[in-house]
Amino acid sequence: MAERKRVLITGITGQDGSYLSELLLEKGYEVHGIIRRTSTFNTDRIDHLYTDPHNEDARLFLHYGDLTDGTVMRRILEQVQPKEVYNLGAQSHVRVSFDSPEYTADVVGMGTLRLLEAIRDYQQRTGIEVRFYQAGSSEMFGKVRSVPQSEETPFYPRSPYACAKVFAHWQTVNYRESYGLFASNGILFNHESPRRGETFVTRKITRAVARILAGKQSKLYMGNLDAKRDWGYAKDYVKAMWLMLQQNVPDDYVVATGETHSVQEFLEIAFGYVNLNWENYVEFDARYLRPTEVDLLIGDATKAKQKLSWEPSVSFEQLVKLMVEADLQALGLVANGVGLSSPLDNAIIRKSLVNAI
């Protein structure tokens, strides 16, 4: 029997990690993920994929580690011997990065460098190629100078998070050029799903809509409603990550829908879906403002479309509705149904809705 292709994913417990694991397991890979030790379980998003590793048919394996701990990253790499590494691990909240800048830079910036160094050594010593994907972000474009943003648009990061991602991006390019590593950067614009973390704006809104309807919440406190983002569907975006590592040569790609919408438009559609007027519920709270904001993001994904044959499959309006629908269903509320939310997502998010903060 042919040996299974092994992959290693950092950030496997996150939104993208869970969708990417599903995709790779479907494709027959053996998936290894790095998880952090926490005092309560943090594997909700991948529990449905996990089987006892003693089972002969187990194909998902988890390893304790942390991007701040280079020794462990090296050890796991040696042990797993993956053909592909997806570096999705990050302190990924932009607002929080202003509160914890050193930690964010350590995980997002130095963490990537630690992994690249480990791969370089492993590859030079064994002669075995390891393909590397770096989870870059549209936040790297930051202060708007021209739109739409493409691979050619210069970076102007506006947060500790974005600065660290720029560092990681250029280290990835540098390792490709210096040591011939197959290392590709995705420059992914915002992508969302029912599995999105509850403090990112989209999920915060859709979760609030469901909770307001269920009588569990009366107000929604928000920051800047004028910011505009190019929002896509996470499941589409993890496909682009995989496609990048299947090419003949490594490269960098923007992944986006090419449409932009304001936070207020998101509110209008989400509340409108259940016949509520958002203005009756939303209040301003300055704590959600950032010291510097990214005002407008809209991506030009022409290169990804042409070279990877990648296309987004879910429109902005569909995305908002599928997220509201999933949050409603998880609370046992009936939705009209655009048919995109899955029972699996509902099970994953139920806990976060019921255990109100």
Residues forming contacts to ligand NDP in the complex (CB under 6 A) are 10-17, 34, 36, 38, 42, 66-68, 88-92, 107, 135, 137, 188, 190-191, 197
* Shortest distance (Å) from residue 34 CB to ligand NDP: 6
Please give the residues from 268 up to 307 whose contact with ligand GDR meets the rule CB under 6 A: 288, 290, 293
Assess whether the previous peptide bond of 160 is cis (omega < 30° from 0).
no
Is residue 101 a contact point for ligand GDR (CB under 6 A)? Answer: no
Looking at residue 274, its amino acid is V
How far, in Å, CA of 197 to CA of 226, rounded?
21
Is residue 137 a contact point for ligand GDR (CB under 6 A)? Answer: yes
- Among the listed residues 328, 135, 97, the one whose alpha carbon sits nearest the alpha carbon of residue 245: 135
Residue 22 appears among annotated catalytic residues: no
- Name the binder of 205 from ligand NDP, ligand GDR, none, CB < 5-8 A by kind: none
In order of 81, 242, 259, the CA distances from 315 in angstroms are: 38, 21, 9
Determine which one of 137, 138, 159, 184 is catalytic: 137
Site of tokens 């800047």: 224
Q: CA angle, corner 113, sides to 243 and 234, nearest 5?
A: 35
φ, ψ dihedrals at 192, nearest 5°: -130, 170
Residue 161 appears among annotated catalytic residues: yes
Of these, 5, 75, 143, 204, which contacts ligand GDR (CB under 6 A)?
A: 204
- Name the binder of 14 from ligand GDR, ligand NDP, none, CB < 5-8 A by kind: ligand NDP
DSSP annotation of 55 reads S
Residue 107 corresponds to which tokens in the numbers above? Answer: 């995980």
In angstroms, how far is the first alpha carbon of the chain from the final one? 50
Residue 141 corresponds to which tokens in the numbers above? Answer: 């474009």
Q: How many residues does the structure list for the chain? A: 357
- Name the binder of 88 from ligand GDR, ligand NDP, none, CB < 5-8 A by kind: ligand NDP
Determine which one of 22, 139, 192, 325 is catalytic: 139
Is residue 229 a contact point for ligand GDR (CB under 6 A)? Answer: yes
Is residue 200 a contact point for ligand GDR (CB under 6 A)? Answer: yes
Is residue 190 a contact point for ligand GDR (CB under 6 A)? Answer: yes
Q: Are 184 and 134 in contact, with CB atoms under 8 Å apart?
A: yes
Residue 137 appears among annotated catalytic residues: yes
* Shortest distance (Å) from residue 237 CB to ligand NDP: 8
Is residue 238 a contact point for ligand GDR (CB under 6 A)? Answer: no
Please give the residues from 29 up to 48 whose contact with ligand GDR meets the rule CB under 6 A: none
Q: Which is nearer to ligand GDR, 106 or 293 (CB)?
A: 293
State the burial class of residue 128 (Cβ atoms within 10 Å of its Cβ: 0-12, 13-18, 19+).
exposed
Q: Are 169 and 136 in contact, with CB atoms under 8 Å apart?
A: yes
* Shortest distance (Å) from residue 232 CB to ligand NDP: 8
Is residue 227 a contact point for ligand GDR (CB under 6 A)? Answer: yes
Size of the site for ligand GDR (CB under 6 A): 22
Q: Going along the chain, which residue ranges are E strands?
A: 6-10, 30-35, 60-64, 84-87, 131-137, 183-188, 191-192, 220-222, 228-229, 232-233, 252-255, 261-262, 282-284
- Name the binder of 230 from ligand GDR, ligand NDP, none, CB < 5-8 A by kind: none
Is residue 223 a contact point for ligand GDR (CB under 6 A)? Answer: yes
- Name the binder of 227 from ligand GDR, ligand NDP, none, CB < 5-8 A by kind: ligand GDR
Is residue 94 a contact point for ligand GDR (CB under 6 A)? Answer: yes
- Residues noted as catalytic: 137, 139, 161
Residues that bind ligand GDR (CB under 6 A): 92, 94-95, 137-139, 189-190, 199-202, 204, 222-224, 227, 229, 263, 288, 290, 293
